[in-house]
Amino acid sequence: MKQEIKVPTVGESITEATIGSWTKKSGDFVKRNEILMLLETDKASVEVVAENDGVLTILPGAEAGSVVKIGATVATLDTDAKAPAAGAAAPAAEAKPAAQSAAPQASQSTGTQSTGKDMPLSPAVQRIVSEKNLDVGGMSGTGKDGRLTKGDVQDMPAGGAKPAAAPAAAASGGDTKPAKKEAAPLVSAADVLAPRGQSKQGDKKLVAMTTIRKRIAEKLKEAQNTSALLTTFNEIDMGKVMDLRAKYKDKFKEKYGLNLGFNGFFVKAVVEALKTYPAVNAWINGTDIEYHNYYNIGIAVSTEKGLMVPNVKDADMLSIAGIEMTIRDLALKGRDGKITPNDLGGGTFSITNGGVFGSLLSTPILNYPQSAILGLHKIQDRPVAIDGKVEIRPMMYVALTYDHRIIDGKEAVSFLVKVKELVEDPERLLLEI
């Protein structure tokens, strides 16, 4: 029986998706629950698995990189086919002429490539291979089961290949580590110098935007075009929070298995400030103002695919430890490409931290349709006047960008002052007073 494999529904209002990569190829026998392909939507990556055992056939127009409609049939699964016996010859349809099989496969800009061990490439590796037009046929990687990793391909010259990696283990079965690669220079002379009399002004390339990157661009432009954006600033003395963190970070890690950061304190402070100023937790819906009696706080996460803002759901019901664990789990899902539409949807307010990259001050842009976003920045020792004397204190600039159509300046400034007061007095924050 031929079972149709359709593009699944992956979230409200999403009508199409991009096939990021196939992890199996036509003619492969797959087992139930094995991953067949990765779909990229405007919000996240979604894994599609086989519902039964069978032989896969990918339909024309469903190659990696193709944009497909939700509900469209992209492949079939012959569930009557049996798994090939161990050591059985490959089907005649897949045989290649001897002259062709001896030559390395040409790299394609689309489609899933495989290593010499016939391992599928991850979306991140596939993107680098396609952009550089690399030939990876016959290569073994340093990843699990010989898979190619980003580190294996990112330093390769465009259009080139490198020798297969050494075997991962000796014949005796003992574990060995991959040979250490020599660090390649970040910039070579060829990157900055052109032969005498030769110009490099025409050296450029076009790379198609990913679905997620296009959606990020659309949403940011929509926020600018729709909202009346204004930013107010303040600064926070981080001394007491840093002292509290230094005092309890070891016990915190021992109990919860993760480092005690600053995100939990800021999320807690934001929730208390939102309770005091509910318009900051609302947004405009047509000619109405939609107020929210729940607090889903988005935390901006930078990933290989672009900026994502997964949400800490019902943050008011979580402890600082619960908030930190939720943020860690969301960050890991974002890194591994496993963020779901549910993780990204439903946020009412967002926090972005440019300080982790060294930013001292910035004006964040709204995560539309939300009405406000808090920007955190680098903690820096600065001289401040305290009780008539100059002291060096660990200070952080904070910025609140808000939609002036719904939030007045007084509310925005008061909200930010409330966050400042709570973070500067963490005991009061923890007691929720």
Catalytic member of 42, 314, 404, 425 = 404
Give the single-character DSSP code of 145.
G
Residue 408 known to be catalytic: yes
* DSSP per position, 153-210: HTTSPTT---PPPPPSB-TT--B-PPPPPPPPPSS-HHHH---TT---TT-----PPP
292 catalytic residue (yes or no): no
Token pair, residue 237, equals 């003395």
Calpha distance 297→351 (Å, rounded): 7
CA distance 226 to 191: 42
Q: What one-letter code names the amino acid at 21?
A: S
Closest to 124 measured CA to CA, from 49, 25, 214, 45? 45
The pair of structure tokens assigned to 108 is 């394609």
The alpha carbon dihedral of 314, 317, 319, 321 has a sign of negative
Q: What angle do CA 327, 332, 337 make, to 5 degrees?
A: 125
Angle between helix 409-424 and 263-276 (nearest 10):
140
Report the relative pairing of strands 297-299 and 349-353 from DSSP bridges.
parallel
Beta-bridge partner residues of 298: 311, 350
Residues 31 and 55: their CA atoms lie apart, in Å, by 9
Residue type, 400: L
What letter would DSSP give residue 294? S
Cβ-based neighbours of 74, under 8 Å, separated by 6 or more: 5, 6, 7, 19, 37, 58, 59, 62, 68
Q: Could you give the residue numbers annotated as active site?
A: 404, 408
